[in-house]
Structures are given as C-alpha cells and as structure tokens.
Chain A
Amino acid sequence: MNNKLKVYRAMHDLTQEQLAEAIGVSRQTVIAIESDKYLPSLGLAFKISRLFKVKVEDIFLEEGSEDEN
C-alpha cells in the first residue's frame, strides 16, 4: 500500500504537526504513514480524505494499482 499523503499535505500547505493536530494523532504517526511504515485504520483514512476533500483511494493506493505513480 502506497500513499500520497505527503503530496496532499504539501498541496494544502500543512506541516506534519498541523496535519497531526487536525486528524487527532501524533506527529510520529503522520511521519510513519507518509513513509509507508504504518497503515492507518479505515476511520483515520476517511478522516484524512475528508480533510483534503478527496476520496480515500485518491490518497491511499494499493500496490500495483493503475493510479499509482
């Protein structure tokens, strides 16, 4: 599973700290998600997608999916 969290965060001009506060997790969790070391729960994934006003699958991509890259 890959994700574009870093890209969306940059697009919305948010720091890791600000994003962490907005979705109610620690900064370490944001770092871990961005570096693909931690896969967020469905609830957190929806929270992130709601924050960026996009679909979950726009941010989180299954490995080998067509949208990847």
Chain B
Amino acid sequence: MNRKRYKQLRVLVAFFVGMIVSIAVAKGSYLLATAGVFTGILFMFLVRSRAKITTDERELSIQEKAARVTYSIFAPTLGIISFLLLLPAQGGFTVFSKGEWLFVESLGIVFAYLTLFLITLYAIVYYLFNKKYGGNGDE
C-alpha cells in the first residue's frame, strides 16, 4: 500500500466514523459514538503499521512549527482569559463570587489551572528532550 492509497483510506474511514458518530448522537447513543471513534482509531493504527507509513522529516518539521505556534498562542490566551475571569471576583465585585455569576470565578480557576498544567507539561517535555539531545551541559 502506498501513501496515496493510505490517504484515500484515511478519508474513507474519517467519513464512516463521522457518519456513525452522527447517527449515534442523533439516536442519543453515546456508547455507539465512542465505539465508532475508537474503532476508527484502531483501524487506522493497524493500517498505518501494516502499510509501514512513516512520517517524513518535512512533515515532522511542519508539525514542530505548528505545535510551537499553537502553544505560543494558546498558553497566553488561556492565561489572559483566566485572569480576566478571576479579576471581577478578586476586585471586590461580590456579585461574581456568589449566585448565578459564580461560574465566572469557577471557570477562571479552571482556566488558570489549565494554563499551569500546560506550562508545566511543556517545561517537563522540554527538559526531557533537552536531556535526550545532549543539552545537559556535560562535555
């Protein structure tokens, strides 16, 4: 199986998974939707390993750049949103600390922890890769 056939198969599987999920959601069967998605993932994993499709270095380079840009946009955006959501409650506007507006502060807290998690994860992954590629300072 060549790369072209693999891509065609991937589109076909995505189409079928989409169809199954749509039907499942319409019928309210979330189990079927989950099963459909996992079956699709498993099928593509098997096809990929059998066809020996390897990601070439240009694709890897593109993925690296895309991940870097995504991170540099997503992390500050999430941080700023969490700050803005937490600001009213912390700024003495008690209306945001109780009643129907309480969700604003809760959402802010969730976003703040998500930001922390994202930065921590990035730092850990960066440290591990830095160590792997000889950036530990040893001569």
Contacts and interface: CB of A to CB of B under 8 A. Distances in A.
Nearest to B60: A41
Interface in A23-50: 24-29, 32, 38, 40-41, 44
B132 interface: no
Among B54, B58, B59, max chain A CB count under 10 A is at: B58
Contact of B54 (A24, A32, A40): A24
Interface residues of A, number: 11
B60 to A, nearest CB: 10
Among A26, A28, A41, max chain B CB count under 10 A is at: A26
> Which bucket holds chain B's interface residue count?
under 10
Contacts, number: 21
B72 interface: no
A32 B56 CA distance: 12
Contacts of A44: 57
B61 interface: yes
Interface string B50-74: 0000101111010000000000000
B3 interface: yes
A54 B54 CA distance: 26
A24 B56 contact: yes
A29 B56 CA distance: 8
B112 to A, nearest CB: 39
Nearest to A23: B56
Contacts of B61: 38
B2 to A, nearest CB: 8
Interface of A: 24-29, 32, 38, 40-41, 44
21 contacts: A24-B54, A24-B56, A25-B56, A25-B57, A25-B58, A26-B3, A26-B56, A26-B58, A26-B59, A27-B3, A28-B58, A29-B56, A29-B57, A29-B58, A29-B59, A32-B58, A38-B58, A38-B61, A40-B57, A41-B57, A44-B57
